[in-house]
Amino acid sequence: MTTEQTHIAVLTGDIIGSTKMEPGDLTRAFDALSAAAEVQADWHGEDLHFTRQRGDGWQVRLARPELALRSALAFRAALRCEGKEFSTFIAVAEGAGNPIAPNTDLNKATGATFINSGRTLDRLKESPVPVQMGHQSADATTAAFILADYISQTWTPAQAAAILPMLSPGKLRSHTDVALALGKSRQAVTKALDGAGFDAIWLALKNIEAEETQDD
């Protein structure tokens, strides 16, 4: 295993309203997040090391930080598929990261990027503005996260189910393919995606990821 540091992103989350959840609902929430992390391993080319923290918290490590907003939205969508009441804070930090061994528990991970992600989560939770998703930076990236958060906070389970497969990087899936996978009509999927603001989100992701790839 290489010992070189690479540029990574760390997502730190906290289930919203977890103290009011039934134990079974909290289990469903973490199962949905864990499953989303497994899917995203293909996006990033390696395991995300999904780790549960402090009962209702969670964390992942992204090998492709340019996909951080896409990943955050996918985690939100996966969770919202479980019901309108399912939501999570998501805080993102980027920076240097040491190589990580398979099956590593991120509770044992150290480094500035992990610390900054946790601090960003604390700021989100203390904010007087109802923002649930944010980035450590104070630039256009943060602005994009705030706007994407505003759009996605109101996703219905049906909208989340439609947008989740569309967030996969690479060739954009057709509405017909998504409809077949969900057992819905193409018209229902198109309506759900329109309601979720998918076209604007897709264009934003495309431009953000292209710019960050150039910066790297």
pLDDT of residue 23: 85
Higher pLDDT, 97 or 215: 97
Residue 32 confidence class, pLDDT cut points 50, 70, 90: very high
Q: What strands lie across the sheet with 57-62, from one edge to the other?
A: 51-53, 57-62, 6-15, 88-97, 133-135
pLDDT of residue 101: 84
pLDDT of residue 2: 58
Q: Which pTM value belongs to this model?
A: 0.94
pLDDT of residue 103: 83
User: Residue 172: which residues within 8 A CB-CB, separation 6 or more?
Assistant: 166, 202
Give the mean pLDDT of the chain: 93
pLDDT of residue 98: 87
**Would the pLDDT of 109 be above 60?**
yes
pLDDT of residue 179: 98
- Quote the CA–CA distance of 96 and 114 in Å, as a whole number: 10
